Homo-oligomer: A and B are copies of this chain.
Amino acid sequence: MNTIALITDFGTVDGFVGTMKGVILSIAPQAKIIDISHESAPQHTHHAAFVLWSSYKYFPENSIFVVVVDPGVGSDRRIILVEDEMGKKILAPENGILQFILPELKRPKMFHINNLKYWLSPLSTTFHGRDIFAPVAAHLLNGVRCEDLGIAIELPIPKTPFKQIDVSTKEENGIILHADRFGNLITNFRPQFEHLDDIQHFSLEIGNRVIGPLKKTYADGEYGELIAIVGSSGLLEVAVRNSSAHLMLGLRIGDPVVIKSNDT
């Protein structure tokens, strides 16, 4: 398993990502480098945090995630390495990127990456993706131990952004967490129902609209109808069959959503 998976805001027009891959392959030619996304809004850590969380569990054991959305590059912000029980690792600046995934990991070990021996030299002040993240990931793949790349630290585990919903839920307040390419609005409600049919006992209130009862698939909606379903990440989302709920509702990340039982 030699997977290094990249999430950045570097885009694909310039050669930033290609250069990082050149550095990785120079040190660890066996690396299988996977692009998750390079289109996080520049310097927008929230998007990267969501993408990391939603793809994390589908990668093989020992995969190394490298997340470079780093508006503080060159400042004294720290670079953090997290290792979970399966040997999966995440390398990211300490700036909120880990806020969604960290509460999901069991007994994560954490390190502050500070051993310059494994960095490129000269070190730029503006492109640590190339000069620190890429070589550190490659050395990890080569078997260098976390302890040799930095020092063990303990970071507080942030509160999970997700709210468990089950059949006993009467009413709960939440937010829009993410909007995807298809214009689906993803909330922070994570339903845990025994029977998929239980979903029909709930409705969502969002942007002065009431959507409900919840449905099982996109195809259960009429064309153009706003529906709420459990999306692929296990979160409740608002969608319009073959169209964009994001455009239709004109809402933003962080806007409020309420889930209510239809029985009340």
- Give chain A's interface residues, CB within 8 Å of chain B: 1-3, 5, 7, 10-19, 21-23, 25-26, 29, 32-40, 42-43, 51-52, 54-55, 58-60, 63, 71-75, 124-127, 130-131, 180-182, 216-220, 229-232, 242
Chain B residue contacts of A7, Cβ below 8 A: 15, 18
Contact partner, A15, options B36, B74, B127, B220, Cβ 8 Å: B36
Chain B residue contacts of A220, Cβ below 8 A: 74
The complex is assembled from copies of this chain, and their number is 3
Contact partner, A51, options B15, B38, B71, Cβ 8 Å: B15
Chain B residue contacts of A127, Cβ below 8 A: 231-232
Q: Are B219 and A74 in contact, with the CB atoms below 8 A?
A: yes
Query: Whole-angstrom distance from the CB of A28 to the nearest CB of chain B?
Result: 10
Q: Are A15 and B54 in contact, with the CB atoms below 8 A?
A: yes
Q: Are A242 and B71 in contact, with the CB atoms below 8 A?
A: yes
Known contacts A59-B26, A229-B125; A18 and B37 CB within 8 A of each other: yes
Q: Are A12 and B35 in contact, with the CB atoms below 8 A?
A: yes
